[in-house]
Chains A and B, each alone.
Chain A
């Protein structure tokens, strides 16, 4: 067996468990991003300035600065302010906060895609603002934005490779470690790429499936 292949096969279990860590980080960051994005997206549409202004600043700032810099600020920058966060939660936090800004814009568009009459009908029945959002507007908005959200989650999966710079042993970091031992950069990085692809492709299939399941007749 050629060495380039042997290097990949021998290290495969090690890479695979790195992929699991990637999945774990991504899943947690998706949840955080969804949570932040849903509230910020709603806040962006608020007529009250003290609610929509901070939301706008957040979205613009996060979208306007590199994710890598955001990761550095949270992991290397915060300790100089006396705030220490372990590398794993720091990575999740940076990715989640970053994704939240993009999700917020998607959610905002989603809410705007639901006709105003839906909200009014809900309010006319006596539902509060939050109930109208929770039971009437958001369920429809999320159906409409599912494809866009799927896209965002795929981007996030790939972007999670950036946290390798703070030495979280996710897929890319483990690939680099294997290469430093075997010097087989082409085959090992290709294996890493393949594993990312398996994850993103599954994710895109999963979104499709959810989309179909939730489709309104």
Chain B
């Protein structure tokens, strides 16, 4: 990483500087630094309780960090009038899908574009159908979330986030709540998204996905980023003993 020349900062989409966050006595983040260029896919792995989710949630200020700053697309993310606009450009996909159960799939998709961006409803529906087609669920447009499988719900959730034309997508363990046989269909959609050039931060335990799709993999533990490297380096020759230990546990090597 080449420091901070003028040309370099122009091509940075997300800059996270010295992020700290605690819940009561529990210090969850202890100074996290990270930067992301447009089109990059960063996969974050690490043990639970290591701060991965909190890190992700601090980026769009679902959790307000105690210290440090997040600069997205040249604008500092903080409470105020801008926050809703900034959030609308950062898509987020949750472990528990969080589709709105009282709305149909189509209504789930068009709610934010219509209410936040003031998009015309007919136009929004057109766009929604295109995105549903892209995730292979056009025929479920009028279904309610409870009528879908977990994998289908998560694909709808991804489409819902894409409705806002985000510049960055955050994935918080998107496949952890899924039955094993449904994981692949969600990863497939994410892979396509990455290939289409979406900038993504993915917290996951899917090492196959990390190896195949990530530009960089980082290992987070104890509230800091312990190690960060391109996947081919990260998985074959990790430098930090904690990374090695974690990898050997989950890869069973």
Contacts and interface: CB of A to CB of B under 8 A. Distances in A.
Interface of A: 115, 117-118, 120-128, 131, 135-136, 139-140, 143, 216-217
Nearest to A121: B98
A217 B161 contact: no
B101 interface: yes
B138 interface: no
Contacts of A131: 115-116
29 contacts: A117-B94, A117-B96, A118-B98, A118-B100, A120-B62, A120-B98, A121-B98, A121-B99, A123-B62, A124-B60, A124-B91, A124-B92, A125-B88, A125-B116, A125-B160, A125-B161, A126-B84, A126-B88, A126-B112, A126-B117, A126-B164, A127-B112, A135-B111, A135-B115, A136-B100, A136-B111, A139-B102, A143-B102, A217-B147
B144 A217 contact: yes
Interface string B157-168: 100110010000
A126 B100 contact: no
A122 B160 CA distance: 11
A217 B142 CA distance: 12
Interface residues of B, number: 29
Task: Sort A-B residue pairs by CB-CB distance and give the 9 closest, nearest first.
Answer: A126-B88, A121-B98, A125-B112, A124-B92, A117-B98, A126-B116, A217-B144, A126-B87, A126-B84
Contacts of B100: 118, 121-122, 136, 140
A118 B160 CA distance: 13
Contacts of A135: 111, 115
Interface in B146-162: 146-147, 157, 160-161
**Residue among A121, A123, A131, A135 with most chain B CB within 10 A:** A121
Nearest to B160: A125
A217 B146 contact: yes
| Interface SS of chain B | mixed
A121 B156 CA distance: 13
A216 B144 CA distance: 8
Contacts of A124: 60, 62, 87, 90-92, 161
Contacts of A122: 100, 112
Contacts, number: 69
B85 interface: yes
B104 to A, nearest CB: 9
Interface of B: 60, 62, 84-85, 87-92, 94, 96, 98-102, 111-112, 115-117, 144, 146-147, 157, 160-161, 164
A73 B160 CA distance: 53
A216 B111 contact: no
Nearest to A128: B84
Nearest to A140: B102
A120 to B, nearest CB: 5
A210 B98 CA distance: 25
A139 B90 CA distance: 25
A75 B47 CA distance: 65
B5 to A, nearest CB: 33
Contacts of A143: 102
A140 B60 CA distance: 25
A125 B101 contact: no
B50 to A, nearest CB: 21
Contacts of A128: 84
A122 B98 CA distance: 9
